[in-house]
Amino acid sequence: MKLVTFAQQGAVKVGAIRGEEVVDVTAVFPSMLALIENYVTGLPQISDRLAGATAVPLSAVQLLAPIPTPRRNVMCLGLNYAAHARESYAAKGQAASLPTTPIVFTKATTAVSGPYDPIPFDAAVSAEIDWEVELAVIIAKAGKNIPAAQAWAYVFGYMVLNDVSARDLQMRGKQYFKGKSLDGHCPTGPWIVSADELPNPHDLRITCRVNGVTKQDGRTSHMIFDIPTIIAYLSQGMTLLPGDIIATGTPEGVGFARTPPEFLRPGDVLESEIEGIGVLRNEVTAVSDLP
Ligand code: MG
């Protein structure tokens, strides 16, 4: 099932996709988090309603971030694809070393944005805005000390996420948080694909384009730490919660590691795509041009 949060006539609603239409399920689940918290009964309930329910065309609604206000920060894996780790070290003139323990940082909840939202650009804040397409995992239920062998039972679904990064801010500080957390620098969606619909998330093409030119073209099979390993690691002594978002890292081809380095400018269109999920399309927009 593909699940969306959308705006219609000023109201924020929850829905399920049926073909090119959206079936509104807000009366049963007032928010995506409420749906996830009741997924055991909720998903079959939605599935039962889907066939006969009235629907609105997808083109008539505005898709928002599937989880518009996450309960807490987005958890992100750093350097989780070997080729990206190598390009990152090379760009800094350092010898490459692959992580032996997952590298985890977070993005602020206020960075999260929708699948077609503009990416704000403010030259006074950062001149080095970069792209990182990633597979995001949504946690289904609370869990602590989850063994890797049981981790799949804790996955609610998946979405595309771009870990947009202000490289100057990121590299200047000793922590990534600030450079990873500018408003609107975490486009997500276009929907959550439920786990049952994506049986092998580790064999998907993952691509990122800028103005139609392919910059990243990888496969999720190239992750260093796979999804069960990440869930097992994060849940050690730390409770994962329903609706938690985990960004699993980006393949090679980011802007700062290119020769010469490339960064996004106002007017650039960023497309982030994962096979079997969908495409995000976000235009970089000067803050002075934002509403
Ligand atoms: Mg990243």
Query: Can you tell me whether residue 167 is helix, strand or coil?
Result: helix
**CATH number of the domain enclosing 152:** 3.90.850.10
Q: Which of 43, 63, 83 is the last residue of a domain?
A: 63
**Ligand 1: centre distance to CA 247 (Å):** 7
pLDDT digits (tens, 9 = 90+) for 40-94: 999 999 998 888 888 999 999 999 999 999 999 999 999 999 999 999 999 999 9
**Pair (230, 193) in one structural domain:** yes
231, two tokens: 């869930």
pLDDT at 174 exceeding the cut of 90:
no
Query: What residues contact 116, with CB distance under 8 A and at least 6 apart?
Result: 62, 63, 190, 280, 281, 282
Residues present in the chain in total:
291
Whole-number pLDDT of residue 180:
98
**Pair (96, 133) in one structural domain:** yes
pLDDT digits (tens, 9 = 90+) for 15-25: 999 999 999 99
**Ligand 1: centre distance to CA 163 (Å):** 5
Which helix (H) or strand (E) segment is 156 a member of?
strand 155-162
pLDDT digits (tens, 9 = 90+) for 228-273: 999 999 999 999 999 999 999 999 999 999 999 999 999 999 999 9
pLDDT at 173 exceeding the cut of 90:
no
Whole-number pLDDT of residue 51:
85
Which helix (H) or strand (E) segment is 267 a member of?
none
pLDDT digits (tens, 9 = 90+) for 101-159: 999 999 999 999 999 999 999 999 999 999 999 999 999 999 999 999 999 999 999 99
Q: For residue 248, tell me if it sits in a domain.
A: yes
**Pair (51, 97) in one structural domain:** no
**Ligand 1: centre distance to CA 250 (Å):** 5
Q: For residue 115, tell me if it sits in a domain.
A: yes
- Strand 186-194 vs strand 205-210: parallel, antiparallel, or unpaired? unpaired
Whole-number pLDDT of residue 3:
98
**Ligand 1: centre distance to CA 49 (Å):** 37
Query: Can you tell me whether residue 126 is helix, strand or coil?
Result: coil
**Ligand 1: centre distance to CA 180 (Å):** 9
Residue 205 belongs to what domain range? 74-289
Compute the distance between CA of residue 257 and CA of residue 169 in angstroms, rounded to an integer. Answer: 16
- Residue labelled with tokens 């503009």: 118
- The pTM (predicted TM-score) of the whole model is 0.98
Query: Can you tell me whether residue 142 is helix, strand or coil?
Result: coil
Compute the distance between CA of residue 50 and CA of residue 23 in angstroms, rounded to an integer. Answer: 7
**Ligand 1: centre distance to CA 233 (Å):** 17
**Ligand 1: centre distance to CA 19 (Å):** 31
